[in-house]
Each structure stands twice: as structure tokens, then as C-alpha cells.
């Protein structure tokens, strides 16, 4: 095959859902792997259901995922002249004909076919009439009447369709607009698409499309129909299973590389490897390893993979998305030199960036609030002496650093005989408001001496007030 050309042709009737994103991903990866071309095409001929908001949402999601396209976006609504030209070609080559049967008549034919035990189909009334162009006529494809149409599918193997079951379907409506299968085929032919990977909800369209390719006398593309993504109950994934839009996952704090990794594994495998970087996927993705079984979307597994990607990410990579989540909480960390250190301290403890933002708050907040249970347990009169001693030592330190802080703690333990944990827990609550946080020396170094002293003093005052 010459250069591989794949495409993603969403219908803009809603946001980009995870199933669509997986289809886009497979086509994108295959093109990237083989240094081919990935085309974006907006299938907006259904003008009643297509919206600009959906188009924008699809772009936004693809951009966030980093699925960049080499050509397009094409819009089908801007290509009507090309479709008309191709209708003309089929009329001239005898592969199509005009039909003036009314919808009512066609309905009667369908009923009649069913009554005699057949499939509902057009009975070919106008097939040999050679009708001229005229008001109200549709154009029908002259489908083969006998034999079979074979879909050689790289995922599903061969699927054989009986031509008798297919009818002379409409390719151009009476207003001159193309029908769905016709527009898709004309687009794929004229755009040079030679590899079509899509959901298996399109299998039933494929024999019609194959027949059109044959009528145009052009080679068939490679077809691969991927099983649908299912929910945990094994029904097709839908809103009732929870969030299905790509950008909802962004807003919940997922990394695009984690979502891509999860989606690719929902239909493709490479041994039993679960974690893949984007680069690894580009190097490894192939069509042979697309599975025949439907993938079940499991948010918990996605979250576990997200945690792995957060852990693996360089802190600098997470600064921008974390900044957004903290801004939502009223905290501006832009330009703060401590941010990467904060991220490094939290990246092994956060399953999502939203959770990381939550955990990062205490580093940046002017004032913290104590978790009630943590305060009750650890900010007690017993803690007054260690907290005061620590504050005095920290204040007196010549050089304030993580090591120096650690030295202070060891000194306090040696002097007072109090166990390290007994000192560390009240300090942790005083500094972070919680009983769980990154290492105490690490957080003290990041928060900085001034703020550490303020928080220790605030905790001391809190204990004195509560006791009083
Ligand atoms: N526009 C179709 C859809 O969104 C895709 C058609 C195709 O892949 O051939 O389902």
C-alpha cells in the first residue's frame, strides 16, 4: 500500500464521547505509526441535529487528547458539488438511475415485500425507465441483484452479505442532497482514504459502501470494525453509566495520556502490558492486535492508570493543568517557584489532578483549616511543649533547609525522649490541617520558614484557646 491515509469523521450531534475518541485514537495511531496521514472530517449533513457547539466541542476534545490531524477539517455540507458530480458519474456509467416513486409507493413496496416473506425493499419500478432529470426525482443506486458482497474485515474476518437482501438505495435525495453512505464513500475516495477503522455499528453500512466503491471502479480500502465500548452491565456505554464525554474526564482531573492509554487498551493489546506512553503506542500500535471482544469501560481502572501516569509525569508537565484546578479554588500559583516541588511531593499520592489540587491547597493557602478529627486527636495540651520547642529551634536555624529541619526533629527527640511520631503528628496537623500529608521535612522545606512559624504559632494559640 502507498502512504496510509486514515480518517476520523464524527457527526457533530453532541460532544466527543470516549467510544468516538477510541476510534479517533486507533486511526491516529495507525497513521502516526506508519508515517501516514490522518484526516478530520465533520459529517454534518444532518443539519437538524448538527450544531456548531458540537463541532467546537469535538475540536476541543481532540486537541486536549493531542490527536492532531494532517488534513481538514472538511465539512460535508461544503462538498455538495462534489457529491453531485459523483452522482452524475454513476448515472452516466449506468450504476444509478432516477426514480420518481413517491414515499407512499415505496412504503407499499416494502410492505408487499415483507408480506411475501422478504426483506422490506424497493421493487425496482424505475430501474429501467431511464428517467430524465426532473423535479422531485431521487437517484437510486443500481445494486447487484444476485451474488454476494464480501467484507474482508481486519478485525472480524470475512463477513458475507447476500445481495438479494440489499436494495437500490437512494444516493441523492430529491433536493439534491447526498445520503449518508454515498457521502461517506465519495469523501473517502476523493480524500484518498485507504484505511477505515470504525465502530462495528457501521458493519451494516459497509456492503452498500463496498458496492459503491465497485461501481466507481476504485480499490476498496482496508476495513476494520472495532467492537463497541460497553458499560459494566455489558450494555452499550451510555450516559447512564456515568460520564462519557472526553472533556468531562479532563475536568475531573484526568491526564489525556492516561485516558488514551486506557482507551487503547479497551480494544487492543500488546502482551499483558498495561502502561504505555504516547510514544510507545505510536511505536507499537497495529491492527492485528485489535481484539474481537468488546471492551468494558471501568472508571476505577481508568483512575488507577491515571494515578500511574501522574506518578510517571515530570512535575513540569503537571504545572499547567494543576494551575487550572487550583485557580478554581481561588489560588493562583502562576510563577510560584515552589510548584514543581509541591507536585513532586504529591504525585505518588494523587489519583487525579483534582485530588492533587485539593491536597496542594495547604501549601499555598494563607490560612488553613483543621480537619476537626485531626485537631481533636493531635492539637492537645500535650503537643504544646513539642510545638513550642520546634518553633524556637526553627526560628534559630542559621540555614533553613529540609536537612536542617530533619536535624531539628532528631535533636528534639534526643532531648525530650518523646517519640518522633508524637512530635511529627501534631506538627503535621498544625501545618497541613490533616493527619496525612507528604513527608513532614519535605513540606516544611516547601512551605518556608515564615509560614511554618506562623502555622506553629497559630496551632499553639488554638490549643491554648481550646483548653481555656
Ligand atoms: N459519522 C459517522 C459516525 O459518527 C462515522 C462514519 C464512518 O466512520 O464511516 O458514526
The three-state (H, E, C) secondary structure of 90-144, written as one string: HHHCCCEEEECCCHHHHHHHHHHHHHCCCCCCCCCCCCCCCCCCCCCCEEEECCC
Q: Which residue's alpha carbon is nearest to atom 6 within ligand 1?
A: 9
Nearest to 143 by CA among 94, 179, 107, 190: 94
Q: Which atom of ligand 1 is nearest to the CA of 205?
A: 9
Distance CA 306, CA 258 (A): 5
Asked if pLDDT for residue 468 goes beyond 60, the answer is no
Distance CA 205, CA 218 (A): 18
**Distance (Å) of CA 364 to CA 16, 341, 344:** 35, 12, 15
What is the overall mean pLDDT for the chain? 96
Mark 5-30 as b/e (b = at least 16 C-beta within 10 Å): bbbbbbbbebbbbbbbbbbbbbbbbb
Q: How far is the CA of 180 from the centre of ligand 1 (A)?
A: 9
Q: How far is the CA of 264 from the centre of ligand 1 (A)?
A: 19
Asked if pLDDT for residue 467 goes beyond 80, the answer is no
pTM of the prediction? 0.94
Give the CATH architecture of domain 79-226: 3-Layer(aba) Sandwich (3.40)
Q: How far is the CA of 64 from the centre of ligand 1 (A)?
A: 21
**Ligand 1, CB within 6 Å, residue ranges:** 9-11, 43, 184, 198, 202
Asked if pLDDT for residue 31 goes beyond 80, the answer is yes
Q: Which atom of ligand 1 is nearest to the CA of 209?
A: 9
Distance CA 366, CA 66 (A): 36
| Known catalytic residue at 156 | no
Residues 6 or more apart whose CB falls under 8 angstroms from that of 172 comprise 83, 84, 87, 138, 139, 178, 179, 182
Lowest mean pLDDT among 86-90, 190-194, 268-272, 413-417: 413-417
Q: How far is the CA of 15 from the centre of ligand 1 (A)?
A: 14
Q: How far is the CA of 12 from the centre of ligand 1 (A)?
A: 10
Q: Which of 119, 129, 239, 329 is catalytic?
A: 239
Q: Which residue's alpha carbon is nearest to atom 9 within ligand 1?
A: 184
**Backbone phi, psi, residue 140, to 5°:** -110, 150
Q: How far is the CA of 313 from the centre of ligand 1 (A)?
A: 34
The x, y and z cell numbers of residue 336, run together, are 510560584
Q: Per-residue confidence at 217, pLDDT binned at 50, 70, 90?
A: very high
Give the pLDDT of residue 119: 87
Q: For a ligand 1 pocket test, name from 202, 222, 223 the mutation site with the most ligand atoms within 8 angstroms of its C-beta.
A: 202
Is the fold of 5-75+229-300 the same as that of 372-467? no
The tens digit of pLDDT for each residue in 42-56 reads: 999 999 999 999 999
Measured in Å, how far apart are the chain's first and last C-alpha atoms? 83
Q: For a ligand 1 pocket test, name from 7, 8, 9, 224 the mutation site with the most ligand atoms within 8 angstroms of its C-beta.
A: 9
Lowest mean pLDDT among 150-159, 220-229, 233-242, 295-304: 233-242
The tens digit of pLDDT for each residue in 121-161 reads: 999 999 999 999 988 899 999 999 999 999 999 999 999 99
Give the CATH architecture of domain 372-467: Orthogonal Bundle (1.10)
Residues 6 or more apart whose CB falls under 8 angstroms from that of 387 comprise 426, 427, 430, 456, 459, 460, 463
Average pLDDT over residues 242-262: 97
Q: For a ligand 1 pocket test, name from 7, 42, 43, 181 the mutation site with the most ligand atoms within 8 angstroms of its C-beta.
A: 43
Give the pLDDT of residue 1: 60
Asked if pLDDT for residue 367 goes beyond 60, the answer is yes
Largest CA distance in the chain: 107
**Backbone phi, psi, residue 100, to 5°:** -115, 15
Average pLDDT over residues 49-66: 98
The domain locations on the chain are 5-75+229-300, 79-226, 314-364, 372-467
Q: Per-residue confidence at 324, pLDDT binned at 50, 70, 90?
A: very high
Residues 6 or more apart whose CB falls under 8 angstroms from that of 286 comprise 30, 33
Distance CA 231, CA 80 (A): 38
Distance CA 294, CA 259 (A): 17
Distance CA 386, CA 100 (A): 94
Give the CATH architecture of domain 5-75+229-300: 3-Layer(aba) Sandwich (3.40)
**Distance (Å) of CA 55 to CA 112, 247, 467:** 42, 13, 61
Amino acid at each position: 500500500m502507498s502512504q496510509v491515509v486514515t480518517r476520523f469523521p464524527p457527526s457533530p450531534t453532541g460532544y466527543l464521547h470516549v467510544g468516538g475518541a477510541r476510534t479517533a485514537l486507533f486511526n491516529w495511531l495507525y497513521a502516526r505509526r506508519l508515517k501516514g496521514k490522518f484526516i478530520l472530517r465533520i459529517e454534518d449533513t444532518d443539519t437538524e441535529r448538527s450544531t456548531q457547539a458540537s463541532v467546537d466541542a469535538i475540536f476541543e476534545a481532540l486537541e486536549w487528547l493531542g490527536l492532531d490531524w494532517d488534513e481538514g477539517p472538511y465539512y460535508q455540507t461544503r462538498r455538495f458539488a462534489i457529491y453531485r458530480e459523483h452522482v452524475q458519474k454513476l448515472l452516466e456509467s449506468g450504476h444509478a438511475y432516477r426514480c420518481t416513486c413517491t414515499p407512499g409507493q415505496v412504503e407499499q413496496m416494502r410492505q408487499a415485500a415483507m408480506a411475501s416473506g422478504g426483506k422490506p425493499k424497493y421493487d425496482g419500478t424505475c430501474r429501467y425507465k431511464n428517467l430524465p432529470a426532473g423535479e422531485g426525482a431521487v437517484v437510486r443506486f443500481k445494486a447487484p441483484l444476485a451474488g454476494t458482497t464480501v467484507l474482508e474485515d481486519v478485525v472480524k474476518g470475512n463477513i458475507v452479505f447476500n445481495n438479494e437482501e440489499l436494495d437500490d438505495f437512494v444516493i441523492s435525495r430529491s433536493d439534491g442532497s447526498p445520503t449518508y453512505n454515498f457521502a461517506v464513500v465519495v469523501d473517502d475516495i476523493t480524500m484518498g482514504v485507504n484505511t477505515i477503522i470504525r465502530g462495528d455499528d457501521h458493519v451494516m453500512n459497509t456492503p452498500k459502501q463496498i458496492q459503491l466503491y465497485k461501481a466507481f471502479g476504485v480499490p476498496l480500502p482496508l476495513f476494520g470494525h472495532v467492537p463497541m465500548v460497553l458499560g459494566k452491565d455489558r450494555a452499550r456505554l451510555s450516559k447512564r453509566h456515568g460520564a462519557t464525554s472526553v472533556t468531562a474526564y479532563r475536568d475531573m482531573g484526568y491526564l489525556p495520556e492516561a485516558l488514551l492509554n486506557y482507551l487503547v487498551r479497551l480494544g487492543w493489546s500488546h502482551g499483558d502490558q498495561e502502561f504505555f506512553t504516547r510514544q510507545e503506542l505510536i511505536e507499537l500500535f497495529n491492527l492485528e492486535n485489535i481484539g474481537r471482544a468488546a471492551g468494558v469501560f471501568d472508571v476505577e481502572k481508568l483512575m488507577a492508570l491515571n494515578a500511574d501516569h501522574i506518578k510517571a509525569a515530570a512535575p513540569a508537565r503537571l504545572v499547567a493543568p494543576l494551575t487550572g484546578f487550583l485557580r478554581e479554588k481561588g489560588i493562583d500559583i502562576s510563577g510560584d517557584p515552589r510548584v514543581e516541588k509541591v507536585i513532586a511531593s504529591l504525585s505518588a499520592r494523587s489519583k487525579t489532578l483534582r485530588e492533587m489540587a485539593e491536597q496542594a491547597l495547604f501549601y499555598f493557602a494563607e490560612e488553613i483549616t483543621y480537619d476537626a478529627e485531626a485537631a481533636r486527636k493531635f492539637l492537645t495540651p500535650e503537643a504544646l511543649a513539642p510545638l513550642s520547642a520546634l518553633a524556637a529551634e526553627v526560628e534559630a536555624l542559621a540555614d533553613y533547609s529540609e536537612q536542617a529541619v530533619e536535624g531539628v526533629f532528631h535533636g528534639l527527640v534526643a532531648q525530650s525522649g518523646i517519640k518522633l511520631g508524637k512530635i511529627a503528628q501534631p506538627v503535621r496537623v498544625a501545618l497541613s490541617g490533616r493527619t496525612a500529608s507528604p513527608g513532614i521535612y519535605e513540606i516544611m522545606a516547601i512551605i518556608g520558614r515564615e509560614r511554618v512559624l506562623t502555622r506553629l504559632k497559630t496551632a499553639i494559640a488554638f490549643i491554648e484557646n481550646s483548653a481555656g
